């Protein structure tokens, strides 16, 4: 069977060239006679891999020298706990912007550790928009403000980031990191699971400003302390070595594409193509507010559950996979991360048009 277009929200489609390179080096990495999967994380060969991976991420995101790049396990979900464990102080609080399922989970975990409050929410309209923030609520007791830059399930994104002044802005950027150019210096901490735009599952990237490290309580678990990773260059214990290697290959691919600026233009072209098809349709629609639309995750639906199910089934027969929407939203969802070629989006639009011709 040939390759299909994989519209999964994650783990996501990878470039064929990255898969082929990994396949080529699977049995013997650079003629070392062993796979990266077999290689000691203490070896000089793996040290070069992790250093190269960090170098590429820094270059592509233009990360200032005052930030550290950490390679951690546990997914973005572990960061829901690590962030408050490391940043919340006695007597302080955190503000969360509630924009969907993942921000709700982040807030829930933070409340187990300290005081976490909602700064703004779009729950009143089923998370179909990004709410305005009242930054006047931030005060000297606010330890950080947390946002989810892109809402994978609901299909919204922050098109501009709040200026939180001296209070660190913390971002879960799992589903749109490296999809657009960002000024990293606006953030105190960025974290992202790798399985969308950074590689494969099993790895989480944390970008943290140096002055936010090392202020935790003495009794915090070792593996939940960012300082453990900074002091040991993310090699305190065995990291997800193969996942880091795949991230290196993917970052090399992104650099070959022209970097983040080039991929941003491509992502906008892909998203505009699909949004136009939805807008022009008499069958499909989207509830997401136009100004807050995601470039990465695009939910759409018909008024019929039967038609939605039929669409997903027939799309798969045409090589368009993983288009079923999340159960909390319903309908369909196309995730079009960096590695999704524009040909995949065109194929989806063509199928949508043909499906509508048959069923309207």
- Active-site position among 143, 172, 270, 324: 172
How does residue 1 score in pLDDT terms, banded at 50, 70 and 90? low
Is the per-residue pLDDT at 349 higher than 80?
A: yes
DSSP H helices, 257-323, are 259-280, 305-317
pLDDT tens digits, residue range 161-208?
999 999 999 999 999 999 999 999 999 999 999 999 999 999 999 999
Note the pLDDT of residue 328: 85
Binding site listing: 42, 76-77, 102, 152, 172, 195, 237-238
**How many Å apart are CA 86 and CA 84, to the nearest integer?**
5
Note the pLDDT of residue 350: 98
Binding site listing for pyridoxal 5'-phosphate: 76-77, 102, 152, 172, 195, 237-238
Q: Average pLDDT for residues 225-237, to the nearest whole number?
A: 97
Q: Average pLDDT for residues 350-358, to the nearest whole number?
A: 98
Give 77's contacts (C-beta < 8 A, 6+ positions apart). 105, 109
Q: Average pLDDT for residues 222-239, to the nearest whole number?
A: 97
Task: Report residue 119 as tokens.
Answer: 């700064």
**How many Å apart are CA 208 and CA 227, to the nearest integer?**
11
Q: Please indicate whether residue 253 is annotated as part of the active site.
A: no
Q: Average pLDDT for residues 32-39, to the nearest whole number?
A: 96
Q: Please indicate whether residue 196 is annotated as part of the active site.
A: yes
How much of the chain, in percent, has pLDDT values that exceed 70? 100
Q: Are 260 and 61 in contact (CB under 8 A)?
A: yes
pTM as predicted: 0.97
Is the per-residue pLDDT at 41 higher than 90?
A: yes
Helix axes 101-111, 75-87, angle to 10 degrees: 40
- Active-site position among 32, 47, 89, 102: 102
Q: Which domains does the chain have, with CATH numbers?
A: 17-256 (3.40.640.10), 258-359 (3.90.1150.10)
Q: Are 206 and 79 in contact (CB under 8 A)?
A: yes
Closest Cα to residue 68, out of 198, 202, 191?
191
- Active-site position among 143, 182, 196, 292: 196
Q: Identify the three-state secondary structure at position 74.
A: coil
Q: Average pLDDT for residues 236-260, to the nearest whole number?
A: 98
Binding site listing for L-glutamate: 42
Q: Average pLDDT for residues 45-55, to the nearest whole number?
A: 98
For the chain, first and last CA: distance in Å?
Answer: 32
269, 301, 323 from 10: Cα distances, Å = 21, 20, 12
Is the per-residue pLDDT at 219 higher than 90?
A: no
How does residue 154 score in pLDDT terms, banded at 50, 70 and 90? very high
Note the pLDDT of residue 218: 78
DSSP E strands in 81-182: the ranges are: 93-98, 115-121, 142-148, 150-151, 156-157, 169-172
Q: How far is CA 142 from the centre of its chain?
A: 25
**How many Å apart are CA 336 and CA 49, to the nearest integer?**
28
Chain-wide mean pLDDT for the chain? 97
């Amino acid at each position: 069977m040939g390759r299909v277009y994989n519209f999964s929200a994650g783990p996501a489609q990878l470039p064929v060239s990255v898969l082929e390179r990994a396949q080529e080096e699977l049995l013997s990495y650079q003629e070392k006679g062993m796979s990266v999967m077999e290689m000691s994380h203490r070896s000089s060969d793996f040290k070069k891999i992790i250093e190269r991976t960090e170098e590429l991420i820094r270059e592509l995101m233009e990360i200032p020298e005052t930030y550290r790049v950490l390679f951690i396990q546990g997914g973005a979900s572990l960061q829901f706990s690590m962030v408050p464990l490391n940043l919340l102080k006695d007597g302080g609080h955190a503000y969360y912007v509630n924009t969907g399922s993942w921000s709700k989970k982040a807030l829930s975990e933070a409340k187990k550790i300290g005081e976490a409050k909602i700064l703004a929410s779009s729950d009143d309209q089923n998370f179909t928009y990004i709410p305005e923030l009242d930054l006047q609520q931030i005060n000297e007791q606010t330890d950080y403000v947390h946002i989810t830059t892109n809402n994978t399930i609901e299909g919204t994104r922050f098109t501009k980031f709040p200026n939180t002044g001296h209070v660190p802005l913390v971002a879960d950027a799992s589903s749109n990191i490296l999809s657009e150019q960002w000024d990293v210096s606006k953030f105190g901490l960025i974290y992202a699971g790798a399985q969308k735009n950074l590689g494969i599952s099993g790895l989480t990237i944390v970008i943290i400003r140096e002055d936010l490290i090392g202020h935790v309580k003495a009794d915090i678990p070792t593996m939940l302390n960012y300082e453990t990773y900074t002091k040991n260059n993310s090699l305190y214990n065995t990291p997800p070595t193969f996942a880091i290697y795949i991230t290196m290959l993917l970052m090399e691919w992104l650099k070959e594409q022209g970097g983040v600026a080039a991929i941003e233009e491509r992502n906008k072209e892909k998203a505009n193509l699909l949004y136009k098809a939805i807008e022009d349709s008499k069958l499909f629609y989207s509830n997401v507010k136009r100004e807050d639309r995601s470039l990465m995750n695009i939910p759409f639906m018909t008024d019929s559950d039967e038609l939605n199910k039929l669409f997903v089934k027939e799309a798969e027969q045409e090589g368009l996979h993983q288009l079923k929407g999340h159960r909390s939203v319903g309908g369909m969802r196309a995730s079009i991360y960096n590695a999704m070629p524009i040909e995949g989006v065109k194929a989806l639009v063509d199928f949508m048009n043909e499906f509508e011709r048959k069923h309207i």
